[in-house]
Amino acid sequence: MNRISLTLMLAVTMAASIGCTSKNYVRQQTTPLINKTNELDDLTAKNSKDVKDVDQRAQSGIQAVQARAVEVDQKALAAGSEAEKAQLSANNATQRVDVLTNAVVNLDNYRPVVETAVHFGFNKDNLTKDAREAIDQLAASVATTKGYIITVEGATDSVGGAEYNYDLSQRRANAVIQYLAAEKNVPGYKIYLIGLGKDKPVETNKTADGRAKNRRVEIRLMTNTGAGTTPTDKPSNQTPTASANPPSL
């Protein structure tokens, strides 16, 4: 009986030892694999993060390049626009010179009868009471002057750009012309309009008083009935038209 019990106990002990040995062996074999798998997972996660970082930097770089390209295109368009404006200004200046030259040639046969100048406020083109009175006095001589024309020369001070001042000088001259036509019944073909801008100052533009005197329109009643000319109601070398718009610069 004791021998059988001892045998059973030895069998159980051996089985337990074998079981523990198997578990330890399995644990020893699988632990490195598990650790390696965990390392691979960590490495994969890190690589994924690195890939995302690289992609974000690449996208940022692409966007920066695209923004720079758009900026360069805008600058190129702006430069092209400025070049076109410069060319237009040059063409306008050439046209003004040509028209002014023709007007001066056509005025060679005329002599002044009455002349006056009316002045304007800063950046203004409306006639003042004094300006209207000065025009009234000049217009009073129209009825007794044969073969007459009226020259109207608008001018500005030096404040502002050239193109703006040419436009302003024309608006001032147009105000005079409209008054002559509406209030004094002077035909449009009898009037020469010249917009001088700031090109013909009568005083220095360095003082407020000088600039005020340069903001003006000069008006001249002229006739071609002087010595050596034939009286006529039409300007020399000009064909009268029914248009209310006189030659202008």
**Extents of the domains making up the chain:** 52-106, 111-223
pLDDT of residue 233: 42
Q: Is the pLDDT of residue 12 over 60?
A: no
Q: Is the pLDDT of residue 121 over 90?
A: yes
Higher pLDDT: 67 or 18? It is 67
pLDDT digits (tens, 9 = 90+) for 69-89: 777 777 767 766 766 765 665
Beta bridge partners of 150: 191, 221
- Rounded alpha-carbon distances, angstroms, from residue 243 to 106, 154, 191: 19, 21, 11
Separation of alpha carbons 179 and 186, rounded Å? 9
Pairing of strands 216-223, 111-119: antiparallel
Separation of alpha carbons 29 and 165, rounded Å? 96
pLDDT digits (tens, 9 = 90+) for 128-184: 999 999 999 999 999 999 999 999 999 999 999 989 999 999 999 999 999 999 999
Confidence of residue 3 (pLDDT cuts 50, 70, 90): low
Separation of alpha carbons 149 and 225, rounded Å? 11
- Whether the Cβ atoms of residue 226 and residue 111 lie closer than 8 Å to each other: yes
Separation of alpha carbons 66 and 57, rounded Å? 14
pLDDT of residue 66: 75
What is the overall mean pLDDT for the chain? 75
Residue at token pair 């002014």:
100
- Rounded alpha-carbon distances, angstroms, from residue 28 to 16, 21, 36, 37, 108: 18, 10, 13, 15, 120
Encoding tokens for residue 79? Answer: 């430069």
Encoding tokens for residue 235? Answer: 């300007």
Q: Is the pLDDT of residue 204 over 80?
A: yes
Encoding tokens for residue 160? Answer: 């502002």
Top-confidence range, 17-26, 56-65, 72-81, 180-189: 180-189
Domain 111-223 CATH class label: alpha beta
Q: Is the pLDDT of residue 126 over 90?
A: yes
Higher pLDDT: 17 or 229? It is 17
Encoding tokens for residue 83? Answer: 């070049």
Separation of alpha carbons 93 and 165, rounded Å? 13
Residue at token pair 């012309």:
177
Residues 6+ apart with CB under 8 A from 233: 146, 147, 148
Residue at token pair 């004791």:
2
- Whether the Cβ atoms of residue 249 and residue 195 lie closer than 8 Å to each other: yes
Nearest Cα to 125, choosing from 170, 192, 191? 170
pLDDT of residue 5: 63
Residue at token pair 């960590």:
42
pLDDT digits (tens, 9 = 90+) for 180-203: 999 999 998 899 887 777 888 889
Separation of alpha carbons 211 and 218, rounded Å? 15
